[in-house]
Homo-oligomer: A and B are copies of this chain.
């Protein structure tokens, strides 16, 4: 049994994909940025609005705290980016948070991170699509009027695309991401130019509204609590930052350095966009409320439930570019598209993490085979189902979904950074070179601060969001954790049960007499090509005894069979079992058991002729009794079951299908880098 900390093995996980099949190329930074940053950059589409939304609880006056909250988010962002730059250098193999936590903090921590990440992937899909729909809806009202329907439709569409195995290209990510980033920057620049140089007064569509504070004049602890809650919401901007640390092998050389640079670039862009949008929102007097229907006041009366609160980014764009202008619509479309791409990244990450967990026997072993379509599909469907469920339950409302989102992210941030501290400690214990030592000490300091800060944020998020929905995410994590622990326990128990005794010819099968001969039994229903082939093969096997066996379900047919048997002069004795109740399985099982009882030193080899057909519906029409009998025979000790297939003409169709299925390649390959590269790459962690 392999140990969990068996790093070289985990490094090999990256090796599964055939590069010539995927047409993979190493990513230059300009492509890597959009590929990895669609998730974290897209979160600036909803994070600023969430900050304003929470502050509005204390009335519009509380909005003046928003720059301070932005500063806190920026500091946090820099901390996290700096921390992950250390990860990138230390684990160029693309070891994600799961690997870092498992290697350095042990399997429980690793499993906690894995549970958090799995929940996170689900929420990435739900939140990104909900927010994408809301952004699209600011330009296309139909979409927002059928929010849940449209969001579910997008989930279904992404699911189908991923199940089919779309071929990805970096450009697919590049164009909308750059249009989005470019659009936001043009908006910030044009807004600044209009406001500062032209002196225009830009007004958001909600600028004239008043906010009815739910708690007027908050102060002291209550105010601090509210600000912390607003900060927690703003932290939504950090989701997805860790993605680059998983994707180092996809970068051009020098990989770690390029990845670190891209990480820094992404951090810079995200921070600028986040702050720019907050600043524009303050300038254009965007007004948002948690419950717009009652808390937004227009002309002295609440605005009512018919009102749709557009996202901050779209309100700002309307103020800067003008409602319905080309740039406004373009930005709305690009924002929605980037958010859908962000959701798509979860479709790649979820099954990949699943395969790593399967490798460590926390999930069914067959998921381990990456690129395996069936395993991949199961992961995709599970992810899509969970995301669709949340979308329907929470009415595709990004604000409500975000309450669940941030817990998981910070659980994995915190554990990963803590793991990195241990990592450096371990390396410092053996490293002698002073230059390397000082670099390690610096890295350790950064990761320590990162661990501390993200841990603090985790506590803040838990305290301020628990009742707002974070408990759902925690519950999800617990379910994943418990399930995976149970699976691992099962595998361990079985491994124990089947482990071979040391002495090679010792008491294997000590509960049974060791068989020394084989008695073969060929099951016959009629004489046709499949049974003749099975008989021919059985004869080749030269077992110690050979007989043909048929069950007398229908005396007339049995009689005909016997006659044909003799007429053809088949030189294998034909044994007929009576079955007064027209059963097939039971008489055969009983006969085999009796054979074993009579000569316990014989192993019984039951040989079953089978048709192989090409379509599932044909399968329903054939072999069902054989299948059932096989299933039952496997429970009988001392028996082996041999299928002798006879390929019907229609089986060609299935063969072609199977071949086609093997050519299939799992989506998400671009982010993971070429197979060969991952395998060759030496790893600092390979200790």
A interface residues, Cβ below 8 angstroms from B: 2, 6, 8-9, 12, 15-18, 364-366, 368-371, 374, 487, 490-491, 494-495, 497-501, 504, 508-509, 514-518, 527-533, 536-537, 540-543, 554-557, 568-570, 580-584, 586, 603, 605, 607, 610-612, 618, 620-622, 624-625, 628, 630, 632-635, 637, 639-649, 651, 654-655, 658, 662, 675
**Can you name the residue of chain B whose Cβ is closest to the Cβ of A486?**
B617
In the complex the two chains form, is A364's CB within 8 Å of B528's CB? Answer: no
Q: Across the interface, which residues of B come within 8 angstroms of A9, CB to CB? A: 554, 556-557
In Å, the complex CA distance between A647 and B497 comes to 10
Give the number of times this chain occurs in the complex, counting copies: 2
> Which B residue sits closest to A515, measured CB to CB?
B540
Chain B residue with the shortest CB-CB distance to A679: B580
Distance (whole angstroms) from the CB of A376 to the closest CB of chain B = 13
The 30 listed contacts between A and B (C-beta, < 8 Å) are A2-B557, A9-B554, A9-B557, A15-B581, A364-B620, A365-B624, A369-B583, A371-B581, A371-B582, A371-B583, A494-B611, A494-B622, A495-B528, A498-B611, A498-B646, A498-B648, A500-B527, A501-B529, A514-B536, A516-B540, A518-B541, A583-B662, A586-B662, A605-B642, A607-B640, A630-B643, A634-B643, A634-B645, A640-B643, A641-B642
- The residue of chain B having its C-beta at the shortest distance from the C-beta of A520 within the complex is B541
CA distance A649 to B514 in the complex (A): 19
The SS class assigned to the A binding surface is: mixed
Task: Name the distance in Å between A382's Cβ and chain B's nearest Cβ.
Answer: 13
Q: Which residues of B contact A371 (CB under 8 A)?
A: 581-583
Taking a contact as CB atoms under 8 Å apart, the answer to whether A8 and B556 are in contact is yes
- Decide: A500 and B529 in contact? CB cutoff 8 A: yes
- With beta carbons under 8 angstroms apart, the residue of B18, B568, B580, B582 that contacts A369 is B582
**In the bound complex, how far is the Cα of B564 from the Cα of A504, in angstroms?**
10
5 new A-B contacts at CB < 8 Å, known A612-B635, A633-B645: A500-B527, A537-B640, A542-B542, A580-B675, A630-B643
A635 B621 Cβ-Cβ under 8 A:
no
CB distance from A149 to the nearest CB of B (A): 23
- A529-B499, A621-B487 are known contacts. Are A504 and B570 too (CB-CB below 8 A)? yes
Bound-state CA distance A564–B73 (Å) is 56
User: A620: which B residues are within 8 A, CB to CB?
Assistant: 364
Contacts of A643 in B (CB 8 A): 630, 634, 640-642
Chain B residues lying within 8 Å of A570, measured Cβ to Cβ, are 504
- CB distance A518 to B537 under 8 Å? yes
CA–CA, A632 to B657, complex, Å?
11
CB distance from A165 to the nearest CB of B (A): 15
How far apart are the CA atoms of A195 and B259 in the complex, in Å? 100
Q: Which of B499, B508, B582 contacts A15 (CB 8 A)?
A: B582
Q: A500-B529, A621-B490 known; A537 and B557 CB under 8 Å? A: no
Task: Report chain B residues within 8 Å CB of A17.
Answer: 581
Question: Which residues of chain B come closer than 8 Å to A364, judged between CB atoms?
Answer: 620-621, 624
Q: Are A610 and B634 in contact (CB under 8 A)?
A: yes
Q: How far is the CB of A372 from chain B (nearest CB, A)?
A: 8
Complex contact A635–B655 (CB within 8 A): yes
Give every chain B residue within 8 A of A6 (Cβ-Cβ): 556
Also in contact, A537 and B508, with CB within 8 A (given A542-B543, A635-B655, A643-B641):
no
A491 touches B365 (CB 8 A): no
Given contacts A518-B541, A624-B365, A658-B635, contact A530 B498 (CB under 8 A): yes
Contact A366 B648 (CB under 8 A): no
**What residues of B have a CB within 8 angstroms of the CB of A621 in the complex?**
364-365, 487, 490-491
| B500–A556 CB distance below 8 A | no
CA distance A509 to B675 in the complex (A): 43
Closest to A675 in B: B581
Contact A581 B16 (CB under 8 A): yes
With A15-B580, A624-B366, A675-B581 given, is the CB distance from A639 to B649 under 8 Å?
no
Let me know if A529 and B2 touch, CB within 8 A. Answer: no
Q: Which residues of chain B come closer than 8 Å to A531, judged between CB atoms? A: 500
Q: For residue A543, which residues in chain B have a CB less than 8 angstroms away from its CB?
A: 540-542
Q: Are A581 and B642 interface neighbours, CB within 8 A? A: no
Query: What is the bound-complex CA distance between A370 and B369, given in angstroms?
Result: 42
| Pairwise interchain contact B603-A540, C-beta atoms closer than 8 A | yes
Q: Report yes or no: B640 in contact with A370, Cβ–Cβ below 8 A.
A: no
Expressed in whole angstroms, the minimum distance between the Cβ of A75 and any Cβ of chain B is 42
CA–CA, A432 to B492, complex, Å? 81
Q: Is A642 a contact partner of B645 (Cβ separation < 8 A)?
A: no
Given contacts A508-B529, A533-B508, A569-B504, contact A518 B540 (CB under 8 A): yes
Shortest beta-carbon distance, A555 to chain B, in Å?
8
CA–CA, A447 and B504, complex, Å? 79
Q: How far is the CB of A509 from chain B (nearest CB, A)?
A: 7
Q: Known contacts being A8-B556, A365-B621, is A515 close to B537, with CB within 8 Å?
A: yes
Q: Which residue of chain B has its CB nearest to the CB of A641?
A: B643
Q: Which residue of B lies closest to A518 (CB)?
A: B540
Report B-chain residues with C-beta under 8 Å of the C-beta of A644.
Answer: 640
Q: Which of B2, B497, B533 contacts A556 (CB 8 A)?
A: B2
Which residues of chain B are within 8 angstroms of A611 by Cβ–Cβ distance?
494, 498
Distance of A641 Cα from B644 Cα, bound (Å)? 7
CA distance A2 to B632 in the complex (A): 29
Q: How far is the CB of A552 from chain B (nearest CB, A)?
A: 11
Contact A632 B658 (CB under 8 A): yes
Chain B residues whose C-beta falls within 8 Å of the C-beta of A651 in the assembled complex: 635
Residues on the B chain within 8 Å of A654, using CB: 635
Chain B neighbourhood of A540, CB < 8 A = 515-518, 543, 603
